[in-house]
A and B are shown apart, each in its own frame.
Chain A
C-alpha cells in the first residue's frame, strides 16, 4: 500500500530521470564511438540503435506523464 502523494513523487522522479538520464548516457556513448576505431557503418548502426533507445525513452517519459495526470485526477488516496 502506498499513499497517493508518495506514488506521485515516485512516478514524477521516474519521469524526470527517464527524460534526463538517457540523453546524458547517449551523449557519453557517442563520444566513446567517436574514439572507438569502429568503421563508419558500424558507428551508424550503433547510433541508430541509440536513437531508437532515445525515442523509446521519450515515449516512456510521456507514458509516465500520462500516469501522473491519471493519478492526480483520481479521488483515491491510497494505492
Chain B
C-alpha cells in the first residue's frame, strides 16, 4: 500500500496537475460547444467532428498519463516486501533465439552465467533453422554449461518455444530474457526475494534500459520514448495491480503461467495478452523500478519501426480481447484495471488521431476548408495554458528522474516519425492479419534507403508545400486563422525533418570501450593497492 508522502515540490506538482486536468476539461467543453453550434456547411461540420474526436482521444490519453503522475507524486513509492532468502528456489532462465548474431547471444549467456543466484539453469531456446546459427548456439551452450532446447515443429514464435520448453520444466520461477538483454549479477537475488514474499504474485517486471544509447541516435531516442512508460506509467499501473509484462526482464511464477495455459500464442505481443489472462484469474503483478538488466536498443529506423509495428499490432489484439471480456463479464476485473487495459491497448490509435491533427491544417491551407471552430481569444485562453502546464509537468517530473529536456524531446520526435508505422500496425491488428513475429534486427546500424521511409518523406514534402503555399496566401490575406494553421504545419514539418537526423549510418562502437585515461591509480583505489 503506498504511503501518503508529500514535500513542497510534490504539493506544487499535484496542484499543477489538478489545474491542468481542470483546464483540460474546460478546453474540451469549449471545443464541444463551438463544434456543436458552428454555422458552417456539412463538409466543414463533418471535418470538425472528426477533428474534435481526434483531439479528444489524444487528450484522453494525456489525462491518463497525468493521473498517473499525480498518483506517483502524492504517494511515496513503497518498496515491495522481500523475504530474506535462506533457501533458493530453482529458477529457469530462458533465452529465446532465432538467427541471432553469435556475439549478442554469447554476451547474454555470459551475463546469465555470472548471476550470483545459486539455483539457476540457463536454457537457450534455439528456434533457428539455418545450420550456421544452430552450430553457434550449440557451441555457446557447451562452453557455458547451458541447456539447449529445440523443438521439432515450430509454432507460435517466441511464445510457442517458451511454452514448449516450460512444459518440460519443474523450476519454481521462469525468467525470460530477449537475446540482447544482459542481467547484472544481483538481478535474481532481489526479484526472487520479492516473489517469495507474496505467493499471489504472478510476475515481476523490471525496466528495459539500453546500453547503446551513447553511440546511436535511434537507440537513445527510443530509450527516451520508453522512459515515460517505464517511469510514471508503469509505477502507476503497479499501484493499481495492472502492470503488464513486457516480454523480457521479467521473472514469472511457473504456477501462474501454468494456471493460464502458458503464454498467449495468438498474438505478437504475447506478454501483454498473457498479463490480461493472469489478471482475469486473480493473480497480482508488480513493477520493480530498479534497472537490473541492460539491453540493446534498435540501432536504425528499420529495426525501430519493425519493433513499433509489432507492438501496435499486438496492442490492437489485446484491445479487442479486453473489450469482448468487458462486455461478457464486466466484474472480472476492477474498474481501474479495465481503464488501464483499455487506455494502454488503445494507445497506438493515437496515430489516427494525430493523422487528423496533421491533415486538417493542410486541408485548410490547400482547399480553404476549415475544421477548427473556436474564437482566437477562447483558444488562447483555454488551450495555451494546457500546453504550458502539460509541458511543465512532463519536463519537471522526468527531469526529477535525471532525464534532460533535449533527450526527452528526441523520444517525442521519434514517436512522431513512427506514426505511419502505428497506422499500419493498428490497421493490420484490426483486420486480424497476423503477420509473423519479426525479430527486431540486432546489430544493423546502417541507414535505411529513403524509399522505405516514403510515408515520413511524403508528410515532410506535403507540409513543406503547404508552408510555401500558406506563406504566399498569408502575405495577401493577413488572416489569423491562416497564421495559426501555418504554425501547426511548421511544427509538423520540423518534426518530420528529423527523419534525416535519425537515418544515419553509424559505426558500431567497440564493446566495453570507455575513455582511455592514465593507468595511474586514482586516489579512491590507492588504499586497496596497499593491502
Using known A-B contacts A20-B110, A28-B294, determine if residue A50 contacts B514 with beta carbons closer than 8 Å.
yes
Main secondary structure of the interface of B (DSSP, over half): loop
Which residues on B sit within 8 Å (CB–CB) of A30? 211, 214, 514
Determine whether A2 belongs to the interface, using a CB cutoff of 8 Å to chain B: no
Known: A36-B402, A45-B524. A55 touches B110 (CB 8 A): no
User: How does the 8 Å CB contact mask read for A10-21 relative to B, with 1 for contact and 0 for none?
Assistant: 000100110011
Chain A residues lying within 8 Å of B516, measured Cβ to Cβ, are: 51
Docked CA distance A16–B142 (Å): 13
On chain B, the residues within 8 Å of A44 by CB distance are 515, 517
B108: nearest residue on chain A (CB-CB)?
Answer: A24
Closest to A51 in B: B517
Known contacts A16-B143, A31-B210, A31-B213: does B519 contact A24 (CB below 8 Å)? Answer: no
Q: In the assembled complex, how far is the CB of residue A56 from the closest CB belonging to chain B, in whole angstroms?
A: 9
Partner of B402, one of A16, A20, A35: A35
Asked if B79 is an interface residue, CB under 8 A from chain A, the answer is no
Chain A residues with Cβ below 8 Å from B210 are: 31
B-side contacts of A13, CB under 8 Å: 143-144
Contacts of A24 in B (CB 8 A): 107, 110-111, 182, 511-512
User: Which chain A positions have C-beta within 8 A of B404?
Assistant: 37
Is the CB of B525 closer than 8 A to any CB of chain A? yes
- Chain B residues with Cβ below 8 Å from A16 are 110, 143
- Residue B212 interfacial (CB < 8 Å): yes
Q: Which residue of A lies closest to B220 (CB)?
A: A34
- Of the residues B107, B294, B515, contact of A47 by C-beta under 8 Å: B515
Alpha-carbon distance between A50 and B517 when the two chains are bound, in angstroms: 10
Q: Is the CB of A49 within 8 A of B184?
A: no
* Interface residue from A37, A45, A51 paired with B514 (Cβ < 8 Å): A51
Whether B113 is near chain A, meaning CB under 8 Å from some CB there, is yes
Q: How far is the CA of A25 from the CA of B291 in the complex (A)?
A: 13
Is the pair B512, A52 in contact by a Cβ cutoff of 8 Å?
no
Interchain CB contact (< 8 A) of A25 among B184, B214, B513, B525: B184
CB pair A21 B110 closer than 8 Å: yes
Q: Does A69 contact B (CB under 8 A)?
A: no
Q: How far is the CB of B511 from chain A (nearest CB, A)?
A: 6
| Chain B residue with the shortest CB-CB distance to A26 | B512
Residue from the list B211, B291, B402, B522 in contact with A52, Cβ < 8 A: B522
Decide yes or no: A27 and B402 within 8 Å by CB, A45-B522, A48-B517, A49-B522 being known contacts. Answer: no
Min distance, Cβ A13 to any Cβ of chain B, angstroms: 8
CA–CA, A30 to B511, complex, Å?
11
| Chain A proximity of B404: nearest CB distance (Å) | 8
| Chain B contacts for A27, CB-based, 8 A | 211, 294, 511-514
Q: Does B209 contact A (CB under 8 A)?
A: yes
Determine whether the beta carbon of A55 is less than 8 Å from that of B525: no
Chain A contact patch, size range:
20 to 34
Question: From residue B177, how far is it (CB to closest CB) to chain A in Å?
Answer: 14
Task: Give the distance to chain A from B372, nearest Cβ to Cβ, in Å.
Answer: 39
Does chain B have a CB within 8 A of A22?
Answer: yes
Check B113–A31 contact: CB distance below 8 A. Answer: no
Which residues between 507 and 531 of chain B lie within 8 Å of chain A, taking CB atoms? 511-519, 521-522, 524-525
Task: Please tell me if B403 contacts chain A, counting CB pairs below 8 Å.
Answer: yes
With A17-B113, A24-B107, A27-B211 known to touch, is A49 a contact of B524 (CB < 8 Å)? Answer: yes
- How close is A58's CB to chain B, nearest CB, in angstroms? 10
B409 shortest CB reach to chain A, Å: 15
B114 at the interface (CB under 8 A from A): yes
Q: Give the most central of B143, B182, B210, B514: most A CB within 10 Å.
A: B514
The closest CB in chain B to the CB of A53 belongs to B525
CA distance A31 to B525 in the complex (A): 22
Contacts known (A17-B110, A24-B107, A28-B211); A48 close to B511, Cβ less than 8 A: no
| A45 nearest CB across to chain B (Å) | 7
Does B519 contact A55, Cβ atoms closer than 8 Å? yes
The answer on a CB contact under 8 Å between A47 and B522 is no
For the complex, what is the distance from the CA of A54 to the CA of B517, rounded to whole Å? 11
In contact, B519 and A54 (Cβ under 8 angstroms) = no
Q: Are A31 and B402 in contact (CB under 8 A)?
A: no
With A27-B511, A51-B515, A51-B516 known as contacts, the answer to whether A34 contacts B214 (CB < 8 A) is yes
Residues of B with Cβ closer than 8 Å to A?
Answer: 106-107, 110-111, 113-114, 143-144, 182, 184, 209-214, 291, 294, 402-404, 407, 511-519, 521-522, 524-525
Q: Which 4 A-B pairs have the closest CB atoms?
A: A23-B512, A28-B294, A37-B402, A31-B211
Please name 28 pairs of A and B residues whose Cβ atoms are closer than 8 Å in the assembled complex, sorted by A: A16-B110, A16-B143, A17-B110, A20-B106, A20-B110, A21-B114, A23-B511, A24-B110, A24-B511, A24-B512, A28-B182, A28-B184, A28-B294, A30-B514, A31-B211, A31-B213, A32-B209, A34-B213, A35-B213, A35-B403, A35-B407, A45-B522, A47-B514, A48-B522, A49-B524, A50-B514, A51-B515, A51-B516
Q: A31-B294, A54-B512 are in contact. List 9 more A-B contacts (CB 8 A).
A: A16-B110, A28-B182, A30-B211, A30-B214, A31-B210, A32-B291, A35-B403, A37-B404, A51-B515
